[in-house]
Amino acid sequence: MLGIGGEATVYSFPHDDSLAAKVYLKPTDDHARKLAIMCANPPVEDAPNGDGSPLAWPVDTLHSADRKKRVIGYLMPKMSDMAPIINVYSPQARLQERPQFTYQHLIRTGQNLARAVGAVHTTSYVIGDLNNTNVFVSGDAQVTLIDTDSFQVSDPDSGEIYRCPVFTPDFTPPEMQGEADTLVDRTIEQDLFGLGVLIFLLLNAGGHPFAGSFQEEGDAPPITDRIKDGHYPYSVQKQVPYKPATVALPFDILAPGLRDLFAQCFEKGHDNPETRPTARDWQEALAVAEQSLVTCDTNQQHSYGDHLSACPWCERKVLLGGRDPFPSLEAVDTGEHIQPMQVHQTLPTDWNPEWHGVQQVREYRAGGRGLTPDSKFWVAMTWFLWLGIPAWIGIALVSPGVVALAFLIYGMMSFMVPWGLFSSVGLRATVRFEAGSRWMAASAAGALVGIVLITLISVLYAF
């Protein structure tokens, strides 16, 4: 057995070592019809040199051994020496799984990924759920797309569409956010968003294109909301409430042509999906970027664009405390590249930096203005205001002179509510309706009801 998932199990095929067999746990008639179309109409592969196929495409169907001969799965090209793409774009995983990979390998991986996606689109298929779990990479940067049986397939004879039944939120385009959980027709333009995300991950140390430092108060929205709103932190066309994360790679490491394509994909493509770069656009831009690479004099594994004046990976190594994102072959041979980093104590243990006190004062001021929602003051005020209403009404009916006093007290109390409400944390917490904020809201209601009733009593006495 090579692998198992929620819908199928993959086995080695004993009759041909170059093939693998995928067997469904619950085969259906739709599986049979869809596989028949795929086997009869394979994409035209524009494969790079070397062994392997860019697509784990069905080449034949598997049938049950009983008399019904039901379709229970299919045969596909078998992958060898392949790893999930996350093991390539994640710096930590890459040091373990592909330590010999250079920046040039990452660019080449992006080219081969775009080539595979282009082969699918050329034959009018749609991937539907292009993400980091269905892309595998070899030691020489070749790419294979798996789970091809989940692609959206159209019957060339009847026009019937077999839709993609799955989606991955962080790779889903803005026009599909909130709707991808429904079975709808997918488009090539939606695939191109996922392709842009994957290439961004490859070239930016695994950082998502919509990850960034939130510049407003409160909790940062999830990635899916940022995608939907088009809040691309590297935007040059509009103001967004994010900046690139402090740990992100400097964006100018990318070749200018690639930066332009990312803007085209995530900015222009937000409102106009048709303007997203095609797979061919990415292939050509990545090829130009690869041709512009130069090699570092210090480390032959460091390659970078000739638009830069110095090696960014040497600078990155210093920034990371000696951890080299692309270690030398000597370091790989000795295992130095995966050794734990030594942190040296260079300051006395009782040292207190000058900025530490300033930081504490600022934090205190930020959270200390006004009355916070969890203050016990609001609990006491709530009880006082609500229990006081019937008491004040009863006294006022007997002694009209106390109406003015009650009005004064409730007026003063009602002034306390907006003071707390518009404090630095009061308003935000009240809007979120946290537990402590309920007492503040109850106080506001009590003050309002009290003022209204006291005013009515005053009017009655006036008549």
> DSSP characters for 384-420?
HHHHHHHHHHHHHHH-TTHHHHHHHHHHHHHHHHHHH
Q: Is the same domain home to 182 and 278? A: yes
The tens-digit pLDDT sequence of the chain (463 residues) is 788 887 899 999 999 999 999 999 999 999 999 999 999 999 987 655 455 689 999 999 999 999 889 999 999 999 988 999 999 999 999 999 999 999 999 999 999 999 999 999 998 899 999 999 999 999 999 999 999 999 999 999 899 999 998 899 999 999 999 775 567 899 999 999 999 999 999 999 999 999 999 999 889 999 999 999 999 999 988 899 999 988 889 999 999 999 999 999 999 999 999 999 999 999 999 999 999 999 999 999 999 999 999 999 999 999 988 999 999 999 998 887 777 665 444 444 444 433 333 333 333 223 333 444 545 566 676 667 677 767 766 666 666 666 667 666 766 666 665 555 544 334 433 443 444 456 666 666 766 777 677 667 666 665 5
Name the E strands within 102-162. 135-138, 143-145, 153-154, 161-162
Residue among 452, 374, 456 at smallest CA distance from 414: 452
Q: Is the same domain home to 173 and 44? A: yes
Sign of the dihedral defined by the CA atoms of residues 109, 245, 303, 316, in that order: negative
Q: Is the same domain home to 168 and 21? A: yes
Name the E strands within 221-338. 242-243, 293-295, 303-305
Residue among 278, 239, 283, 235 at smallest CA distance from 259: 235
Domain end call among 274, 291, 308 = 291
Phi, psi of 341 (to 5 degrees): -75, 135
Q: Examine residue 314 and state whether it is found in any structural domain, yes or no.
A: no
CATH number where 207 lies: 1.10.510.10
Q: Is the same domain home to 145 and 283? A: yes
Q: Is the same domain home to 131 and 255? A: yes
Cα–Cα distance, 330 to 345 (Å, whole number): 28
Residues present in the chain in total? 463
Q: Is the same domain home to 166 and 50? A: yes
- How much is the pLDDT for 390? 73
Domain end call among 263, 291, 319 = 291
Name the E strands within 37-162. 60-63, 71-77, 82-84, 135-138, 143-145, 153-154, 161-162
Q: Is the same domain home to 287 and 393? A: no
Q: Count other C-beta atoms under 10 Å from residue 27's C-beta.
A: 19
Could you tell me which residues are beta bridge partners of residue 152?
126
**Rounded to an integer, what is the distance from CA 270 to the centroid of its chain?**
16
Q: Which residues contact 27 (CB under 8 A, 6 or more apart)?
A: 70, 71, 72, 73
Domain end call among 275, 291, 307 = 291
Q: Count other C-beta atoms under 10 Å from residue 346's C-beta.
A: 6
For residue 454, give its domain range: 370-462
Q: Examine residue 325 and state whether it is found in any structural domain, yes or no.
A: no
Q: Is the same domain home to 194 and 55? A: yes
Phi, psi of 144 (to 5 degrees): -130, 130
Reading the block at residue 22, the tokens are 């995928």
3-class SS at 152? strand
Q: Examine residue 343 and state whether it is found in any structural domain, yes or no.
A: no
Q: Is the same domain home to 110 and 221? A: yes
Q: Is the same domain home to 283 and 415? A: no
Q: Examine residue 147 and state whether it is found in any structural domain, yes or no.
A: yes
Reading the block at residue 174, the tokens are 């803005």
Cα–Cα distance, 265 to 189 (Å, whole number): 10
- How much is the pLDDT for 180? 54
The number of distinct structural domains making up the chain is 2
Q: 49 near 28, Cβ under 8 Å? A: no
Q: Count other C-beta atoms under 10 Å from residue 171's C-beta.
A: 24
Sign of the dihedral defined by the CA atoms of residues 365, 368, 370, 373, in that order: positive
Q: Is the same domain home to 166 and 52? A: yes
Q: Count other C-beta atoms under 10 Å from residue 463's C-beta.
A: 4
Q: Is the same domain home to 26 and 161? A: yes
